[in-house]
Every structure is written in structure tokens, then in C-alpha cells.
Amino acid sequence: MLTGRMLDRRYHVVSRIAHGGMATVYLATDTRLDREVALKVMHADLARDGEFVDRFIGEAKSVARLSHQNIVAVYDQGSDGQSLYLAMEYVPGATLRALLRERRWLPWQDALALMEPILAALAAAHQAGIVHRDVKPENVLITPDGRVKVVDFGLARASAAVGNTRAGVIIGSVAYIAPEQVTGAPTDERTDVYSAGIMLFEMLTGRQPYSGETPLAVAYAHVNSDVPPVGSLVGGIPPALDQLVRGATSRDPQWRPANADVFLRGGAVPARRSRAGRLGDRGVGGAGRAGSDRGGHDGAGRRLRRCRLRASRLRRRGVRRNRAVRHR
């Protein structure tokens, strides 16, 4: 535990935020700039691996060049003894995983409102030549005022430097992993599209598409089985949205949207085709499932309302910008 320590003579570690398979995340104070940061400290076995360290530093430099409102900013990278770390923007709030644990499923309008900033973040990374490779609800942060940010770009690629030398190791979270990550085929932007499609499937249905007795069994289900149509599990889903999820989660990358931007533009279609589900009309709970009494008055509901309102404002700004361009 690093709590209470000064890391690299700069970062005073305040408390532990989270612990994962690759790293532990701490809340810290940057004593030079007098601001809160999130410190992601890699586990010791990774920090001792020279190949991982080299890849980690290279990926950190690439990600630090990304500047987008929906991407968690990387401020610094360094080491202190056995502690290899990233200093990142501290984002208060909760993960999408926490939201799904609380609410299980989301009305399709709310799911699309959340997917818009997620896909916008991935699209910005794809444009810069960066593929996330570990898109999952744990890597999506939602602030109390409804901002959505994606974290951990590049870390899965860095870990592949270690994983490729270990027989039977699959890089990525098996519930969201793309078939090509399982088989060892080349990965690209469409790998993120697949994982984002699985995440959208879970938001709409309240379940992941595959289960198995072991993580390896779940991973190979992505290779050997098609994702069930959302409409076969949930009522009231627009056909265009059902088709969007099916396309994004195709086992063959050539049938998926080419990148997150194409996926994002596809997601705007079902949103435009229905005016129902506006927050002022129906609230976060929405319709479409019998027996739901969730009116959206809790903290999660407030976050979702703010996400929807932000997405609506962004869409209006985009329309105004497009019209301005056309009239030049």
C-alpha cells in the first residue's frame, strides 16, 4: 500500500480508489501543481518486466497526446523504485459498471445517450491511430454532472508484450473481447467497435451475451457463437438499433462499422427516428419493461438525465455546425 507516501518526490498518495488485474489506482495530490490526480501504479511483476516497461512508456506518450473531452487525460509517467505509474486526470463519480450493478439495464434512449460520448472518445483515439483494446464498463467513468470519460487507452497493448509470452493468456476482458483477440488475429479499430457493441448489448438487455464455466469458455463463445438479437430479449427496441448492435458485434470484422465514428453516426439513426423517451416526458425509467418502478430519482438517475441532456446539446451543436458548413 502506498497510502500516505510521497511518490517520486511529487505525488502525495491520499487513498486507494480501485484495484485491478494490472494496477492499483490511488487518489493523490500533485504537490508541484497543487491539484488532485489519479495515480495508476502497475503491479510489481509488470514493473519488473523490461519489455512491458518499454511498451508502457511508449503507449503513455501516445495517449498523452490525446486531447478530448471524453478521454481521461494523461499528465505524467514515471517510476519510483519498483513503482511504475501514470498520473492522470482525477474524475470523481462512478463507473458504468457501478451504474449497471445498480440499475441492471437501461432504456434504449439512455443507453444511446451514454454510448455517444463513449464512441466519440474512441473515434478521437482511432483518428490518432490508437486502439483501446479493452473497452468495458469498468473503463467508462460518469461524473455527478453527467460527463462521460473513457480511461486506460493503450494499457491493453502494453500488457500484450507480456501476455504474448505466456501460453494461454488472453489480453482483454473476456466478456467484451473480440474474436480476433481470442484467436490471435490482427486487431484494429473494429476490435473496439465489437467491444463497444457488446457493452451496448449489456446496457439494453441487462445481461452479457455469453456465459461459461471458465473465462476461456466465454472467450471462445465470442469466436464460435453469434450475439443474440437484442429484440429477441427486450421489447420496444427500434429495429435500426437492433441491427446496429448486430452489425457491431459481428464475428467477422469486415461486417462491423469500420471505426467508432461510423458506429457513432449509425447510433444517431434510431435516436432521430423516435422523439419518445425525452427526459422531460418519461424520466429515466422509461417504458418498455413491465413492472419497472425506477423513476430515476436516485443518484444514478440524475447522472443519466445529465448524460442525456449533454448528448442532446452536442447533437444540436453538430447540426448547427453542419448547416454552417453547407451554407459557406
For residue range 106-145, list pLDDT tens digits in order.
999 999 999 999 999 999 999 999 999 999 999 999 999 9
What would the mean pLDDT of 280-298 be, rounded to a whole number?
38
Compute the average pLDDT of residues 161-168.
45
Query: Catalytic one among 76, 134, 242, 261?
Result: 134
- The rounded distance, in Å, linking the Cα atoms of 192 and 263 is 10
Is 43 within 8 Å of 23 (Cβ atoms)? yes
What is the mean pLDDT of the segment spanning 78-89?
Answer: 92
Say how many C-beta atoms besides its own lie within 10 A of residue 185's C-beta: 12
Task: Render pLDDT for 43-58 as a digit per residue (tens, 0 to 9).
Answer: 888 888 888 888 888 8
Q: Is the whole model's pTM more than 0.85, yes or no? A: no
C-alpha cell at 104: 441492471
* Active-site residue, 152 included: no
The residues spanned by each domain of the chain are 6-89, 94-320
Question: Going by CATH, does the domain composed of 6-89 fall within 3.30.70.260?
Answer: no
- As a whole number of angstroms, the distance between CA 97 and CA 48 comes to 30
Q: Which CATH number is 94-320 given?
A: 1.10.510.10
Local confidence band at 278 (pLDDT 50, 70, 90 cut-offs) = very low
Does residue 326 have a pLDDT over 70? no
Give the pLDDT band of residue 158 (cuts 50, 70, 90).
Answer: low
State residue 266's pLDDT score. Answer: 87
